[in-house]
Every structure is written in structure tokens, then in C-alpha cells.
Structure 1
């Protein structure tokens, strides 16, 4: 029996390169996929030789062929508002497991609403929002809130410095912040409509301390967290200074070392009527964090350690505490969690 093959779609982008290189380093069978055949061949040569598969987003036959060749497909090519549906549909039609980096709320909602039944019919696992933004907050919430009841509020707060956006990330950010139909989760239910942003202060633990935040930001926790944690309100927040840094939106072509210079603290508060719990993750290079998070998910699926057929968020697909501890052992972050129960 041949070893499982993991395809990386969008392999020539920054996150895709990191994911492909990590899989290669682990001795996995990798297929490099995307729209630009010349760039794929160059990356294959750079990484020591891997099969490549050229497939444009408007070529469903080529995308289905890719899915038929792979056991797991990692989708790294955003913005997922534009790229998500063709690749996810091909994965279901070709019968391979699927992991994506989507941050966009409406893509994540579409995955749950539209792709759950095709995934079950195909017998595959599809994990959406397995990324830094959205995904890390979801995993932290799953670990912190395990076993809790009567939850009034979950807040996932991101403090980020030195973020250098890629072209795809810049386009995604522009789409997110121009969206007037944002999804929120209040009073135990989803709501869609215009949301007036506000300034808030989040009490990050020392040494960071309280920071001024943009709240809410349109991340995917409002869709993924309620699937595993019963809360009345879920909100994501981002430090206001993150987008005030001069080079955030003008750094599409910086080198990999510069792009790796980001630092982050992600903290989660889970509040009940009688108290609550909190946890945090601190680290550097959110791009590598995002890429290796999806690699960890894909490897688990390839090795038969998934939750079964359907569409899942990160903490719904995998036990959150052990998954985060594996990321910590890889040196991606340092965790502070309440005593695991």
C-alpha cells in the first residue's frame, strides 16, 4: 500500500512554501499544486524534487484530478472568498480530506452550511479555518473552556506586532474590513448585518498588559467556537496598533526573514456568571505558525486520526489541549493554560 499523499494547493505562496517544506522535512509524500506550472516546477527543484500538478481555479477537471491523486489537500491560496469553493468542491468530488487556512467568516459559514453533506457522502473530513487568525483563538477556547457550562462570554484577543502582509493577505484584509454583512454571535445566536467597530481595552497578562483593541474583528471564532463551547456571546479582537504599523500594508515583497519577524500573543477569556478561566499563547512568526498548524491537521487526517466525515472547525476536529501542546513541542508557541481537566 502506497503512503498517503498530501497535496498543497497554493504551494508557491509564502504559507504554501512553508507547509510544503515542513511536510518534506517529515518525509511525507507531497504534491505541489497551484495555478502557475513554471513556479511550481521551480519550487519542486528548490525542495529537492516533488511531483507538481497545475490546476487553475476555473478548471474543475484539473482540480478533481488533483483531489483524486491526494489523500489530503491543504488549501493555502486565499482570499478564500474567491478561491475556497472550487477547491473544496473538488476535494469532496475527488474523495480526499481537506484543510484550509480561511479567515473569512462567510467562507467558513459556507463550508458548514453547504459542504457538510457532500463531505459526509464522500466519507471525508474537511477542516476549515485552520489558521493563525481564527484558528488559534478557536483552539485556545476549546482548551480553556473544556467542561465549562453557563458561559456568558468568550473573547479571543490577538496582539500582533511586525505583521507583514502577503499579496493574498492584503486582499483578504481589504475584503474583510469592507464587508458590511459581518457575522456576530450574541444572545446565543448568529446575526448578520452591519457592525459599528468600537475601541475596547483587553487585559492581556503581563508582560504585555492592557491594550487598546479593535472590536469586534470579523474572524471565524464566531462560527467555530459555538459548535463546541456553549456561550451566549463570542467575539474576536485585534490590537489597534497592528494595522497602524507603517509597513503592514506595503510589505508584499519583503524577504522571508523579514516576514518571519512578527510576534504575537493570543489570549482567551471565558466568562461565566460566577467567574471564568483564561489562557494564552505567545510566539513569533505567525506565518510559520499558520502553516505548521495546517500541517499538523493534515498529518493527523492522513494517518487516520480525524473526527470522521463532515466539516469541522479546528477545536471541533481535534482535542484542543493536546493539539496545542504538540504545537508547543514544535517550538511554535508557549502556552499558559488553566489546569487541564
Structure 2
């Protein structure tokens, strides 16, 4: 049986390296892709996996090179942000070539654009495309699905991220700068996705002990507003991020720190689902948000390559492509986090 080939775009970035290492640990074959040939060769040498690792140079504006990558690979994991810049060319190339696609975006406009522009093409070519399968966005989407499983008529879902010790890469810094400067925010309220200016507000979210209540930035511009309503019957979605994520000046001055220091994050993702007469909740708690995101994308990509992916093709939300709680339980067994669910009170 021929082994699948996994392409990683942005392979020599921090997330790309984590994805590559995890795929090699699962005995997979890799195609490292990016615009810097020297950096690709250096990473291949560092991984020291012989013929299991190939490299190919392709910039996001080289349509022919991207097409060659998508034809060669079975699955692409897109790790190079900001996705407002890199997202569309790679998603388009994957859809047109019928290459399965997973990305690490949190930007809601990019995620919506993939659904809007690639759906018909991906269905025709047989590609499964899952944008925003990472720490921000993807894990919140899965947790919302797990908390809400089997519940109809949900009035409100709150997804809250508490992060301490976050050290942004260059791509993450550029993404954060872009997102918080946006004036045309996507929100989901009264059963509809809306675009327009939203006044930022301070909020407090009651995380379960031992974390407790935390001051939050709201709304947090993440992709759950696009993905969660595709598989959860909800009228309103609120997204929040703890102010502690950006309190330390080192958060924005950490492009060149080592991998061990960057891994020193603590996180909790909590979801509350509320409906008339009842509520449910859940949380993911762990360390190293970068590894958690990499594990999520690799788990999805491997399942798709092995024929354990969704029954339908096209662009799908994470929780639409895979059953939410079993997917999270598999990540929990791999040490990504601890999952706690509390369903159906009231």
C-alpha cells in the first residue's frame, strides 16, 4: 500500500516544525514547502529522516509551483500566517487540484472566504478542506460541539480562552496586529453572521476553579463565529480572550526565542451553552498551545489520508468534519490537554 504524502506549507516556522515532527513520529512521509529553499534544506537535515522528507520551494504568488505541490501531495497542512495574505492562494490551489487541506487560521474573514469561494470546487474535485483546525478557532469549535451535542434551541454559546505565557511568533504577531486593527468584524447574533464595526468591551468570565473569574477582551476576533453555527443550533456566539494573553511585553518581543521557552504556556478554553431552562459547559486545560494546535491539525490530516475523514467532501468546519468529543478525547490521550464536560443542567 502506497503511503500518503503530507505537504506542510510554512514548514520551517514554529508550528510547521511541530507538525513535521508529529507526522514523522507517526511514520508518515513529508513534503516541506515554503519560499526559502535554504531554510527548507536546513529543516530537512535537522529532521534527519532520509527519504521520508522531501522539500519544494513555492511562494504564495507562484500559481504554477503551488499547483505542482497540490498534485504531488495527498494532504496539505497550511501553517504559514497571516492567512489574510497566504490563505486564499493555497486554499484555491488545493481545491482545484483535489488535494485535502487543513489550515491553522484563526482569522474569521479568511475562513468565511474559504467557505464562500472553494466549496463548489472542492466538492467537484473530491477535496476535504477544513480551515481553522488549530488552537484558536478549531479547539473552541470542537469544544462547542462536544458541549452542545444533542441539544436543540441553544440561545447563546460563550467561548472563552485564558492564556498565560503566550510568546508570539512573527506570523502570529502580524496576525494579531491585523485582527485587532480590523473595523469590519464578523459576529454571529440572532441566528445570522454579520459584518460591521463592534465596540470592544471589557468583560469577566467565570472560569472553573482553580482559575476562577478572569478579565477578558471581548469580542475576540476568532473563527468560531463562522464554523460553530454550521453544526450547532445556536442563535448567538460570544468569543473572549483573557487580557493576560498580552499583559507581558515579552508576548510581542519573542520572535527569536527557543522552542522550549515558547512552549511554556498555560491555557484553558471554556465553553458555556445556555438555553431556556438549562445550560451545559466544558473546558480544555493544558500546557503549550502551539503543540495542542499542531496535534489537532495532524490528527485531522492523518484521519483524512487514512480514509477515516468525513463522509462528504467540500469545505467543512472542524466539528462538522469529525465527531467532536471523540476527536478531543483522542487528543487528550496524546497529552494535548485535559477535557472536562458538564452537560444538560436544568
**TM-score, with structure 1 as normaliser:** 0.98
Equivalent position to 1:277, from 277, 280, 283: 280
Q: Report what 2:11 is aligned to.
A: 11
Partners of 2:66 and 2:126 in 1: CA distance: 18
The yes-or-no answer on 1:27 pairing with 2:27 is yes
Q: State whether residues 20 and 30 of structure 1, in contact with CA within 8 Å, keep that contact through their aligned partners in structure 2.
A: yes
Equivalent position to 2:80, from 77, 82, 90: 77
Deviation at 1:339, TM superposition (A): 6.0
Question: What are the Cα deviations for residues 264-302 of structure 1, in whole angstroms up to 9, with x where unaligned?
Answer: 000000000101100000000001111111000100110
Query: Within 5 Å, which residues of 2 pair with 1:215-294?
Result: 215-294=218-297
Q: State whether residues 105 and 183 of structure 1, in contact with CA within 8 Å, keep that contact through their aligned partners in structure 2.
A: yes
Unaligned regions of 5+ residues in structure 2, if any?
A: none
Paired residue secondary structure (2:136): coil
Q: State whether residues 284 and 339 of structure 2, in contact with CA within 8 Å, keep that contact through their aligned partners in structure 1.
A: yes
Moved over 6 A (4+): none
Partners of 1:215 and 1:336 in 2: CA distance: 24
Q: State whether residues 167 and 250 of structure 2, in contact with CA within 8 Å, keep that contact through their aligned partners in structure 1.
A: yes
Q: State whether residues 221 and 235 of structure 1, in contact with CA within 8 Å, keep that contact through their aligned partners in structure 2.
A: no
Partners of 2:236 and 2:248 in 1: CA distance: 30
Deviation at 1:338, TM superposition (A): 3.0
The yes-or-no answer on 1:196 pairing with 2:199 is yes
The alignment's C-alpha RMSD in Å is 1.0
Deviation at 1:306, TM superposition (A): 1.6
Deviation at 1:149, TM superposition (A): 1.1
Query: Within 5 Å, which residues of 2 pair with 1:100-111?
Result: 100-111=103-114
Paired residue secondary structure (1:160): strand
Q: Report what 1:208 is aligned to.
A: 211
Equivalent position to 2:334, from 325, 330, 337: 330
Unaligned regions of 5+ residues in structure 1, if any?
A: none
- Count of residues paired in the alignment: 340
Partners of 1:21 and 1:149 in 2: CA distance: 40
Q: State whether residues 280 and 343 of structure 2, in contact with CA within 8 Å, keep that contact through their aligned partners in structure 1.
A: no
The yes-or-no answer on 1:113 pairing with 2:145 is no
**TM-score, with structure 2 as normaliser:** 0.97
